[in-house]
Amino acid sequence: MISEQRSGAHLGAKRSRGRWWVVWTLFCSTAINYINRQTLSVLAPVITREFHLSHSQLSSIFGAFQIAYAGMWLVGGIFLDVVGTRLGLSIAVVWWSLVSMATSLVNSPASLSVLRFFLGIGEGVNWPGASKAVAEFFPAEERSVAVAIFDSGSSVGGAVAALSVPWIALEFGWRAAFIFSGLLGFIWLALWLNVYRSSTRPMHAAHDERLTLRNALPILKERETWAIVIGRSLTDPIWWFYVFWLPQYLSDTRGFSLKQIAIFAWIPFVAADLGNFAGGLASGALVKRGIPVMRARKWVCVISCIPLLAGIPAALISNPFASLGFICFALFGFASWSTMGLTFPSDLFPPRVVATVTGLSGLAAGLAGTLFTLLVGTLVDRFSYLPAFVLAATAPILATVSVIVLIRRPAVQAGLAA
């Protein structure tokens, strides 16, 4: 009896260590994912001059990535639910790393658009895969923190890109920056294959956990599915706006050079990183105090809308550093909200369909983000950045209303879990 208890305790400790290794490895994949995609955004002032691009043309190149990225949230989610997290993410990282390195060879806007489309195909798999791994390895009270950890990789990756890419471009040319970002994925692959293999069996793994048409179709009837879809469709475009357009905005409106972008453009991503952890820790703390999981998540969404409004004064104020400070505050709020949005699928659905639900919401959010990105290019060419900042500040209020109204059931694997 005592030996059985010791064996159980040892297994529990091993599983606990293993799942945190998994989530920190997912943090690294997310960071590398963002270094790859942000390489173009950081270099946009240089590349637009070399290829003589207008803001509308640049937005079309960004849009090529987003269209593929959006589609792969859904297709990639289904793919992961079929082949499994370990293999699916391995294939995705190899794909986007090779595409990133190939981007160093582009010689026209058309070839750049094609390769950005291919990059989106690989990178769209990361978040459904990470969300599925969280559902497999973590209990409800730890999920928001686990999501905050892997999702914060986006902020860290954005900051690393803003810091490193300009210096690489200044020293070795802008093409070398794409090679650098692509090589990182192969380093991660060796770590991932070792960590996932050496970790204990996922908490929720079972012989019937793979996706089938029979257990996937009912998710379309669930109002909670559409709450997640609508919520993310109204918030993710905000992130795309700041991620894609911040370096160009600092160059166009604030007169920043490439060196100044390297010095300052990473700071908003640190603020977003803090927002990830603030939202995840606040939600987890509320749950531990006995507040129902869904009520805790919703409260974080409501409070996160307040800093997001800082985007409006960011566009109106004349001081460039004060503007950057307001942008930091807005991204803090977005990241806090986003952590809840990415946690909802694993809270409300069984592991076998989590990647599919996450992928469906990512598809809708990606398409909305693509439209917003194209709209920003037109607004900037014809008017200014101000209307885009106003839209980015107010859309999360509608997202929060949809979450409050449509999510009714508690955070248990109800309905589809049977």
Question: How far apart are alpha carbons 73 and 418 in whole angstroms?
Answer: 25
Residue 2 lies in a domain: no
Question: How far apart are alpha carbons 357 and 76 in whole angstroms?
Answer: 11
Phi then psi dihedrals of residue 124, to 5 deg:
-70, -10
Task: Please count the other Cβ atoms lying within 10 Å of the Cβ belonging to residue 383.
Answer: 10
Closest to 120 (Cα-Cα) out of 92, 151, 152, 154: 92
Residue 279 lies in a domain: yes
Question: How far apart are alpha carbons 54 and 255 in whole angstroms?
Answer: 17
pTM of the model: 0.68
HEC string of the chain equals CHHHHHHHHHHHHHHHHHHHHHHHHHHHHHHHHHHHHHHHHHHHHHHHHHHCCCHHHHHHHHHHHHHHHHHHHHHHHHHHHHHCHHHHHHHHHHHHHHHHHHHHHCCCHHHHHHHHHHHHHHHCCHHHHHHHHHHHHCCHHHHHHHHHHHHHHHHHHHHHHHHHHHHHHHHHCHHHHHHHHHHHHHHHHHHHHHHHHHCCCCCCCCCCCCCCHHHHHHHHHCHHHHHHHHHHHHHHHHHHHHHHHHHHHHHHCCCCCHHHHHHHCCHHHHHHHHHHHHHHHHHHHHHHCCCCHHHHHHHHHHHHHHHHCCHHHHHHCCCHHHHHHHHHHHHHHHHHHHHHHHHHHHHHCCHHHHHHHHHHHHHHHHHHHHHHHHHHHHHHHHCCCHHHHHHHHHHHHHHHHHHHHHCCCCCCCCHHHC
Q: What is the pLDDT, as a whole number, of residue 214? A: 57
Closest to 228 (Cα-Cα) out of 100, 405, 45, 46: 405
Number of domains making up the chain:
1
User: Under a CB-based contact definition with an 8 Å cutoff, are residues 76 and 129 in contact?
Assistant: yes
Position 299 confidence tier, pLDDT thresholds 50, 70, 90: very high
Residue 208 lies in a domain: no
Residue 8 confidence (pLDDT) above 50: no
User: Under a CB-based contact definition with an 8 Å cutoff, are residues 369 and 66 in contact?
Assistant: yes
Position 11 confidence tier, pLDDT thresholds 50, 70, 90: very low
Q: What is the pLDDT of residues 330-385, one digit of tens each?
A: 999 999 998 888 788 878 877 667 777 777 888 888 888 888 888 887 887 888 88
Residue 17 confidence (pLDDT) above 70: no
Q: What is the pLDDT, as a whole number, of residue 13? A: 46
Residue 115 lies in a domain: yes
Residue 209 lies in a domain: no
Residue 55 lies in a domain: yes
Residue 251 confidence (pLDDT) above 90: no
Q: What is the pLDDT, as a whole number, of residue 154? A: 80
Position 217 confidence tier, pLDDT thresholds 50, 70, 90: low
Position 6 confidence tier, pLDDT thresholds 50, 70, 90: very low
Q: What is the pLDDT, as a whole number, of residue 216? A: 57
Q: Which domain holds residue 369?
A: 11-201+214-417
Q: What is the pLDDT, as a whole number, of residue 5? A: 43
Average of pLDDT values for 50-72?
Answer: 84
Residue 131 confidence (pLDDT) above 50: yes
Residue 39 confidence (pLDDT) above 80: yes
Residue 62 confidence (pLDDT) above 80: yes
Residue 282 lies in a domain: yes
Provide the percentage of residues in the chain whose pLDDT is more than 90: 23
Position 224 confidence tier, pLDDT thresholds 50, 70, 90: confident
Q: What is the pLDDT, as a whole number, of residue 218? A: 64
Average pLDDT, the chain: 81
- Alpha carbon 380 to chain centroid, angstroms: 25
Q: What is the CATH number of the domain that holds 89?
A: 1.20.1250.20
Question: How far apart, in Å, are the Cα atoms of 404 and each of 40, 162, 301, 346, 388?
Answer: 37, 36, 9, 17, 25
Question: How far apart are alpha carbons 153 and 264 in whole angstroms?
Answer: 19
